[in-house]
Amino acid sequence: MKASKNYTSSPLPFMGQKRRFLKKFKEVLINNKPDATYVDLFGGSGLLSHIVKQYYPEATVVYNDYDNFSERLLHIEETNLLLADIRVLIRDLPNDKAIPVDRRQPIIDCIYAHEKRYGYVDYVSISSNLLFAMNYAKDIDQLSRQVFYKTIRESSYNADGYLEGVDRVSMDYKALFERYKDQSNVVFLVDPPYLSTETSVYKSSHWKLSDYLDVLDVLKVPHYYYFTSNKSQIVELCEWLGSKVPGANPFGNTVLYSNISNVNYSSKYTDIMIVK
């Protein structure tokens, strides 16, 4: 029996969420372990954790909220109020066009006033509504230095029941892995930041090659879902290692699934999910 709520994307903007891979993830998940403990090492927006709990309500799902996404969810109503105020300020402007320079300051003043009143602004969500696609800001200084666009959503954000029944932790993924690695009937969800991908609005601001390779240490377990892309070339690297040193390839005895994602009309890449 599925859980009552079914989100196909994060309820709030989040860089790098796996919404384009959900169909394949669900197809593979449905043939997996309904009574296991699923440990989402790089929880991000919690989308993978949500999907697992949706399909397997009786499973224990551990969501590593390292970036404190839950705090953004707690302030979702305040975010909706701020967006409503901004909509009023720019309602006469054309959609999907740059906001004139002389109309920027009232928006900035509105954000300042909201932060002073409530003590919090979800800058990732607000910047997602004011900046060009896939651009984010973490504070008012970053936001105010960029060109504003009228790309604000018309509906309010809603996260009712999103992470219901999921166990939240917030810790380094290595410590979380150590906690569960020797337990039986555990499935690890391993979705690290993509190599050389800019994620400055989050704690893991920029992953180097050494960071990315460290994650391979967690793949010495019986069951996992590992996410990467062809940009990292990690699969090719591990295949090469395996050809030189027997058993060195952590992806031995696994199944690889791929999905082509279009960034824009001229750019695309391949998302990869490896299952053991």
114 and 97 fall within a common domain: yes
28 and 83 fall within a common domain: no
In a domain, 152, yes or no: no
| DSSP line for 50-119 | HHHHHH-TTSEEEEE-TT-HHHHHHTHHHHHHHHHHHHHHTTTSPTTSBPPGGGHHHHHHHHHHHHHHHS
**How high is the pLDDT of residue 184?**
93
229 and 198 fall within a common domain: yes
pLDDT digits (tens, 9 = 90+) for 208-237: 778 888 999 999 999 999 998 877 788 888
In a domain, 120, yes or no: yes
116 and 139 fall within a common domain: yes
**How high is the pLDDT of residue 204?**
59
Any idea what the CATH number is for the domain that residue 51 is in?
3.40.50.150
Place of tokens 């039986």: 184
In a domain, 244, yes or no: yes
**How high is the pLDDT of residue 12?**
96
> Looking at the predicted structure, is the pLDDT value of residue 19 above 70?
no
**How high is the pLDDT of residue 241?**
85
CA distances from 93 to 80, 87, 90, 103 (A): 20, 10, 5, 10
Q: Which of 109, 144, 179 is the last residue of a domain?
A: 144
DSSP state of 194: P
CA-based nearest residue to 56, from 33, 27, 22: 33
pLDDT digits (tens, 9 = 90+) for 192-212: 987 655 555 566 556 777 888
Place of tokens 């309820």: 11
**How high is the pLDDT of residue 68?**
94
Report, as an integer, the average pLDDT of 117-124.
97
Residue 76, CB-side half-sphere exposure with 13 Å CA sphere = 15
Are 107 and 90 spatial neighbours (Cβ–Cβ below 8 Å)?
yes
> Looking at the predicted structure, is the pLDDT value of residue 120 above 60?
yes
What residues make up the domain containing 140?
A: 71-144
> Looking at the predicted structure, is the pLDDT value of residue 33 above 90?
no
222 and 140 fall within a common domain: no
**How high is the pLDDT of residue 121?**
98
In a domain, 115, yes or no: yes
62 and 76 fall within a common domain: no
pLDDT digits (tens, 9 = 90+) for 140-169: 999 999 999 999 999 999 999 999 999 999
In a domain, 4, yes or no: no
